[in-house]
Amino acid sequence: MPGRVVPLPTTARVLGEAAVAFLAQPDLAASTHRSYQQTLGRLERDLGPGQPLASLTADQLTAAVIGAWSGRAPATWNRHVATVRSFLGFCRRRRWLVEDLTVELERRPEPADRTKAIPLSELERLWRHEDVGVREKALWRLLYETAARASEVLSINVEDLELENKRVRVRSKGGDTDWLHFQSGSARLLPRLIAGRTRGPLFLTDRAPVPARVPAAVDRCPETGRARLSYRRAEALFREASGGWTLHQLRHSALTHLAEQNVSLPLLSQVAFRGVAGDRREGMSAQDVVSCATSFVPVVAELTGWPAAITRAMDDSDR
């Protein structure tokens, strides 16, 4: 006789109480707390703070979310849906509900505008953001100062760094090993991020993974047991802190801002060619030139003068 699935016993809770408990989690950044509070506050207004979780249905929740945010931009919709999912997972782990109530709430594709650079004023705000930890600041600074791909920077290990020379060894998209040169902003942040570690991933998760989800040794710090920070998590944190910008746009913004300082393509090419052997220069495509140029953004900046506003923001935010 086949066994019968018996639901886990639930502890009676109402929506308002559960929301208070969810927002009281000690590891929430202030910006995350504000975002979560906005989502849950709207749900409480629509469903009522006294709504028992045990009797809350998928249809009720779906209708409330659609009614509140269906007409918003995909990024806004996705942010609220992600908050609802996180909240319900929090409640489910405490046995306040059992049913998966978010089955009808799907993420919407977000059109990516990869041609738009982040304004200098927005970058200044990010560098000065008091609620952002040293890990995020170091990652964002490296991406902007080097114009490297996020996947390349996230794959960096502590032993790849040469802090005294302000450079780091990376494996490029084609499999080649290259040097990325960074500036003083990253150079001041990286020792704080490393915190005495001598090997393992440079960018780590906040806590060690549970035994069932331990990653491969190459993606785990042998000294702390924590895992390498994933692209998905890094992207989500940056979107949340920046109001929807992407990690790719940090890379794009570096060269765009140099171009706005009247840096010509011939000069970018000239600096890029410094890292290319003479017998390889002839026949390089425009794409190869641009790819090479991104590795020498700091050199171009030294020759032309990095935007003064960014330099001041870097100095102020790292003291």
Find the angle CA(222)-CA(190)-CA(194) to the nearest 5 degrees: 20
In a domain, 232, yes or no: yes
If we measure between CA atoms, which residue out of 209, 184, 218 comes closest to residue 298? 184
On whether both 51 and 145 belong to a single domain, the answer is no
Digits of tens for pLDDT over the chain (319 positions)? Answer: 444 444 444 467 899 999 999 999 887 777 788 889 999 999 999 999 999 988 888 889 999 999 999 888 888 898 898 899 889 888 988 888 866 666 577 888 776 555 578 887 788 888 877 778 999 999 999 988 887 888 889 999 999 999 999 899 987 666 778 888 888 889 999 999 999 999 999 999 998 888 888 889 999 999 999 999 999 999 999 988 888 888 988 877 876 776 666 655 555 444 333 333 333 333 444 444 444 444 445 444 444 444 443 443 444 444 4
In a domain, 35, yes or no: yes
In a domain, 299, yes or no: yes
In a domain, 28, yes or no: yes
On whether both 210 and 277 belong to a single domain, the answer is yes
pLDDT of residue 250: 84
In the block, residue with structure tokens 């590891």: 27
Answer whether 147's CB lies under 8 Å from 294's CB: yes
pLDDT of residue 89: 86
Domain count of the chain? 2
In a domain, 8, yes or no: no
In a domain, 101, yes or no: no
pLDDT of residue 285: 43
The residue range of the domain holding 277 is 120-317
pLDDT of residue 292: 46
pLDDT of residue 228: 95
> What pTM was computed for the model?
0.53
pLDDT of residue 189: 93
If we measure between CA atoms, which residue out of 254, 255, 289 comes closest to residue 273? 289
In a domain, 131, yes or no: yes
On whether both 147 and 275 belong to a single domain, the answer is yes
Answer whether 143's CB lies under 8 Å from 157's CB: no
On whether both 22 and 171 belong to a single domain, the answer is no
List the CATH number of the domain containing 46: 1.10.150
Q: Residue 167 is encoded by which pair of tokens?
A: 């450079």
On whether both 130 and 69 belong to a single domain, the answer is no
On whether both 264 and 147 belong to a single domain, the answer is yes
pLDDT of residue 160: 94
On whether both 302 and 207 belong to a single domain, the answer is yes
